[in-house]
Structure 1
Amino acid sequence: MRIDAAEAALRIRTIADIHEDPRGGPVRLIINGRHRKPTGRYHSVKASRSMPWEDRAERMYFWLCEADTAVASYLAQPHGLEIKVAGRKKPLLYYPDIRRDMADGRVEIREIKSRAGKKDLRDPDYELKLHLAAEIYERLGWDFAVLHQAEDIERPRQRFATAQEIQRRRRVRVGTRDRFALIDAIEREGGIAPLGAIVDVLGSEPLGRAKAYAAIVRRIVHVPLDQRLAADTPVSLLRGGLDASRAGLRRRG
């Protein structure tokens, strides 16, 4: 029987229990059987952990999170929602795909849908879970959205291509000397320096470019993801990265 989502939302007896991993990691390991099986793991430098991905759309979204300096950290399968609804014997269980903790303090919860996953949205029980989850997150002050692979992740195409290229170099080491070379180069240019100059400061091609991209992932510097990575792409310092680097210099001194 199809349940009207709006009516059900008004009849929730228990808003929800949120279950999190006490170690701060993903709340469940997807197993074989009726559950979807993970097809890989992604090592995030930004989040300082390895996270499972269940289809390519999730992995692609990790790329965007890794390269976007507005994202301070993120976590796959961050918690489980146990929602008790009047008239149902069993609670509804919902596991969102990703939580993003933003640099400005906001929390974003994202459900990721691949091209094949769109059919899930036609299931009445699943539709109800999403509706109730959205109500709960709104009360918590968290932003919730369902993102689709083709429309919201792979597009705009330039943003996706730039993020993909940046995250490929995420594991490259950025040492203390590199950090202060970045600060000096950008401050000498008045706060914004061209990417080509930054690459030269860090050691020329290809190592300098790899370090520059890794510094973006580490939120030391920022580049606009909607622009192509070229010699004239503007690079600016992030306040947090600048403060952390200067604090490190004082400790060394």
Structure 2
Amino acid sequence: MLLRVTEGTRARRVITRSPTRTVGRFPSLKAGRSIHWESQLERDFVYLLEFDPAMLDYREQPETIRLTIDGKPRRYTPDFLVRTASLMVVYEVKPADKAAHPDMVALFAAAADHYAGRGMHHQVVTEADIRIRPYLDNVALLLRYRSHPVDPDVEAMVLDRLAFEPAPLGELIAALAPHADMAEVLALLANRRLAADLARRLDRDAVIRLPGEG
């Protein structure tokens, strides 16, 4: 049985904000606390983890392990530990140019071997994996509305309207006025009560549908 990964403390302190580094925290509903991130790329990855239903829970800097690389001892603290329905995945978030450095390649290969021996998967993700637009922008937008209240009567109206056929977001809002507004529809999308193609820009022309359709 896989345990919750949100339990426990970080293996090291978050690096302090500096003129060359941006750090911050994200209020995670999955983790039930604020998740610390140490770069904007890590922040964007947290958005993806938070929104993806396959990622059941996660935490940052889960542990520090000791590795031996070319006969020399190394300490390594991965960025995130994530639990899915079937396995634990350890993620390293790195800009592509840094991840390709020979020292990093050797470090991550050793880490992958270490975690494979524990029945876990180690994966390096870069901006090419994380900053897929407009998907990332849509996710960041929807996360802002996940706790926005939606009146049950309004939700019923929206679901009834879409039961006949999907509708563009702008048209849907116009049809529901003055009972519903954009924020409520976005909240329903954020909580997967509605669906849209998030690989396309989530604007007034975006087609909104019921989950499981299209």
Q: Which amino acid aligns with 1:113?
A: K
Aligned to 1:235: 209
Say if 1:96 and 1:204 are closer, same or farther in 2 by CA, change over 3 A: farther
1:43 partner SS:
strand
2:181 partner SS:
helix
- Contact kept in structure 2, 1:72 and 1:101, CA below 8 Å: yes
Residue 215 in 1 paired to residue 188 in 2? yes
Task: String of CA shifts for 1:190-211, please: whole Å, max 9, x gaps.
Answer: xx73353665688669x63323
1:172 partner SS:
coil
Aligned to 1:94: 76
Aligned to 1:82: 65
Distance apart, 1:26 and its partner CA = 3.9
More helix by share: 1
Residue 108 in 1 paired to residue 89 in 2? yes
Aligned to 1:242: none
Matches within 5 A, 1:49-68: 49-68=33-52
Unaligned runs of 5+ in 1: 1-19, 239-253
- Contact kept in structure 2, 1:73 and 1:101, CA below 8 Å: yes
Distance apart, 1:60 and its partner CA = 1.6
Say if 1:65 and 1:23 are closer, same or farther in 2 by CA, change over 3 A: closer
- Work out which structure has the larger RCO, using CA pairs closer than 8 Å and 6 or more positions apart in sequence: 1
Say if 1:201 and 1:148 are closer, same or farther in 2 by CA, change over 3 A: same
Matched residue count: 205
TM-score where L is the length of structure 1:
0.60
Equivalent pairs: percent with the same residue? Answer: 23
- Contact kept in structure 2, 1:222 and 1:235, CA below 8 Å: yes
Distance in 1 of aligned mates of 2:178 and 2:60: 35
TM-score where L is the length of structure 2:
0.69
Q: Which amino acid aligns with 1:153?
A: I
Distance in 2 of aligned mates of 1:67 and 1:28: 26
Q: Which amino acid aligns with 2:209?
A: V
- Contact kept in structure 2, 1:172 and 1:210, CA below 8 Å: yes
In the alignment, which of 141, 150, 154 is matched to residue 165 of structure 1?
141
Distance in 2 of aligned mates of 1:174 and 1:25: 35
Q: Which amino acid aligns with 2:211?
A: L
- Contact kept in structure 2, 1:67 and 1:216, CA below 8 Å: no
Say if 1:153 and 1:193 are closer, same or farther in 2 by CA, change over 3 A: same
RMSD over aligned Cα atoms: 3.9
Matches within 5 A, 1:1-253: 23-24=7-8, 26-31=10-15, 39-77=23-61, 79-85=62-68, 90=73, 92-102=74-84, 105-114=86-95, 118-119=97-98, 121-122=100-101, 124=103, 126-149=104-127, 151-155=128-132, 157-174=133-150, 184-186=160-162, 188-189=163-164, 193-194=166-167, 196=169, 199=173, 208-229=181-202, 230-237=204-211
Unaligned runs of 5+ in 2: none
